[in-house]
């Protein structure tokens, strides 16, 4: 807490102010810890106060501050969009409206509507998903493809690793197919999860490829973000 903001000698320390959740009979220890973390997370509180549906909104905001991702009038695809934080940020940043929607989001989970965002309820790994997204954009190219997709973990490390790699690979293939020259691809990856082959593919197709971990991404989590900028065009990498 900053100096001068205390409330006298009875002031509680930050440690005391932390909400502690007692484990109850029906609740597993993992859920108790999750609840405790949510209740004490400044990004959760900020998202609630500022009207964002997820704390994840601050990850894309931070990446935007660092890499100037969004510009007015751009078309954006949001893969793994639920509950909608990234789509909200994107819609505001590019000036997307109901009359001229510039954002298309996809998730297999239900989502409440977001003004200026076309939402598809669909599994992105299904064969017809890419074409449905292209159709939703009226056949136009995208300037940004964002993927925050993550599958629920099984606890079986090799399986989880393969699933993560597969999601990033199909997101990258899609980005290469739909991006306009100069476009950007941002994807959640996990440390040790970005395969050499995928990096090599991106390096061929983009002018610059880097990894970034926003502050809003929990320090203990292995997640990090891959940012590939300056798309060379569909034939650029061949
Ligand atoms: C971390 S959340 C995304 C949070 C989002 N960026 C936000 O700001 O609200 C990951 C999402 O990816 C979705 N997802 C994972 N695999 C998917 C798939 N194959 N197709 C569509 N969505 C998928 C999950 O349902 C989940 O909603």
For the chain, the structural domain boundaries read 19-44, 53-231
What's the CA-to-centroid distance between 61 and ligand 1, angstroms?
A: 17
Provide the whole-model pTM.
Answer: 0.86
Let me know: does 170 contact 124? Beta carbons within 8 Å: yes
- Name which of 14-18, 36-40, 70-74 the model is least confident about: 14-18
Pocket of ligand 1 (CB under 6 A): 53-54, 56-57, 80-86, 106-109, 123-125, 148-151
The pick from 77, 149, 154, 187 for probing ligand 1's pocket by mutation, whose C-beta has the most ligand atoms within 8 angstroms, reads 149
119 vs 236: which has the higher pLDDT: 119
pLDDT of residue 162: 84
> 75 C-alpha to center of ligand 1: Å?
19
Closest atom of ligand 1 to 129 CA is: 20
Yes or no: domain 53-231 corresponds to CATH 3.40.50.150: yes
Nearest atom in ligand 1 to the alpha carbon of residue 123 is: 20
The predicted pLDDT at position 23 comes to 63
**Residues of the chain with pLDDT > 70: what percent?**
83
CA dihedral for 64, 174, 151, 222, sign (positive or negative): negative
Read off the pLDDT of residues 18-59 as tens digits, 9 standing for 90 and up: 666 666 666 676 677 666 777 778 889 899 999 999 999 999
Q: What's the pLDDT score for residue 167?
A: 94
177: how many CB neighbours lie within 10 A of its CB?
A: 15
The minimum-distance atom of ligand 1 relative to the CA of 109 is: 25
Query: Can you give the pLDDT at residue 6?
Result: 28
Q: What is the pLDDT of residues 151-194, one digit of tens each?
A: 888 888 788 778 888 999 999 999 999 999 999 999 999 876 56
Q: From ligand 1's centre to the CA of 92, what distance in Å? A: 20
Question: How much is the average pLDDT of 74-80?
Answer: 98
Q: Provide the Cα torsion 35, 37, 41, 45; round to 10°.
A: 0
* Cα gap 217→26, rounded to integer Å: 29
Give me the catalytic one of 25, 122, 141, 188: 188
Residue 124 — very low, low, confident or very high, per pLDDT cuts 50/70/90?
very high
User: Ligand 1 pocket test: which of 48, 60, 148 has the largest number of ligand atoms within 8 Å of its C-beta?
Assistant: 148
Cα 9 to middle of ligand 1, angstroms: 47
Give the model's confidence band at 3: pLDDT under 50 very low, under 70 low, under 90 confident, else very high.
very low
Which atom, in ligand 1's list, is nearest to the CA of 59?
A: 8
- Per-residue pLDDT for 79 more than 70? yes
Once rounded to an integer, what is the mean pLDDT over residues 93-115? Answer: 97
The helix or strand, by DSSP H or E, that contains position 231, with its residue range, turns out to be strand 223-231
Q: Does position 16 have pLDDT exceeding 70, yes or no? A: no
State the distance from the centre of ligand 1 to the C-alpha of 149, rounded, in angstroms.
4
Q: What is the pLDDT of residue 237?
A: 60
Whole-Å CA distances, 48 to 52, 57, 73, 176, 194: 6, 11, 27, 35, 32
Mean pLDDT of 202-225: 91
More confident: 217 or 29: 217
**Does residue 4 surpass a pLDDT of 60?**
no
Of the two residues 224 and 18, the one the predictor is more confident about is 224
Per-residue pLDDT at 194: 60
The secondary structure of 87-155 as a DSSP string is HHHHHHHHT--SSS--EEEEESS-----TTEEEEES-TTSTTHHHHHHHHTTTPPEEEEEE---PPP-S
**Catalytic residue status for 188:** yes
């Amino acid at each position: 807490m900053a100096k001068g903001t205390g409330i006298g000698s009875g002031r509680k320390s930050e440690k005391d102010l932390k909400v502690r959740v007692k484990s109850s009979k029906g609740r597993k220890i993992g859920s108790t810890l999750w609840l405790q973390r949510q209740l004490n997370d400044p990004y959760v509180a900020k998202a609630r106060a500022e009207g964002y549906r997820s704390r994840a909104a601050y990850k894309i905001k931070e990446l935007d501050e660092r890499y100037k991702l969004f510009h007015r009038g751009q078309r954006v695809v949001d893969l793994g969009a639920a509950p909608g934080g990234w789509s909200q940020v994107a819609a505001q940043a590019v000036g997307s409206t109901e009359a001229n929607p510039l954002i298309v989001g996809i998730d297999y989970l239900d989502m409440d509507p977001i003004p200026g965002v076309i939402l598809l309820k669909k599994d992105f790994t299904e064969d017809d998903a890419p074409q449905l997204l292209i159709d939703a954009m009226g056949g136009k190219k995208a300037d940004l493809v964002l993927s925050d997709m993550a599958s629920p973990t099984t606890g079986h490390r090799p399986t989880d690793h393969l699933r993560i790699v597969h999601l990033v690979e199909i997101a990258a293939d899609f980005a290469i197919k739909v991006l306009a020259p100069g476009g950007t691809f941002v994807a959640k990856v996990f440390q040790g999860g970005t395969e050499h082959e995928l990096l090599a593919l991106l390096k061929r197709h983009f002018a610059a490829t880097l990894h970034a971990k926003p502050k809003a991404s929990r320090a203990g989590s292995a997640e990090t973000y891959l940012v590939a900028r300056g798309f060379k065009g569909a034939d650029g990498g061949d």
